[in-house]
């Protein structure tokens, strides 16, 4: 299993944000207006293996901005 945010116990989907958030960043920046979102391939020194009974973290899909190259 990759040690990335997509597989981390501390990543979660918030009903208030489009991107997944991180409990560790929430704790680190408590009381501050900071971005606590994570990317699927991001990693940090506080990674913990996600439990088998936890739902997977859902990341937004990439949007294609053009159909054909000019």
Domain extent, residue 33, equals 1-41
> Distance between CA atoms of 62 and 69, rounded to whole angstroms?
18
Is 54 part of any domain?
no
Is 9 part of any domain?
yes
Report the predicted TM-score, pTM, of the whole model to 2 decimal places: 0.77
Is a pLDDT exceeding 70 seen at residue 50?
A: yes
Tokens of 16: 């208030």
Supply the mean pLDDT for the chain. Answer: 88
38, with CB counted inside 10 A (0-12, 13-18, 19+), is buried
From the list 27, 60, 56, the residue with the least C-alpha distance to 44 is 27
Q: How many structural domains is the chain composed of?
A: 1
Is 66 part of any domain?
no
């Amino acid at each position: 299993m990759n040690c990335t945010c997509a597989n981390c116990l501390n990543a979660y989907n918030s009903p208030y944000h489009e991107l997944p958030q991180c409990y560790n960043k929430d704790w680190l920046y408590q009381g501050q207006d900071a971005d606590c979102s994570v990317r699927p391939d991001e990693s940090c020194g506080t990674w913990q293996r996600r439990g088998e009974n936890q739902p997977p973290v859902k990341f937004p899909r990439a949007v294609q901005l053009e159909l054909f190259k000019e």
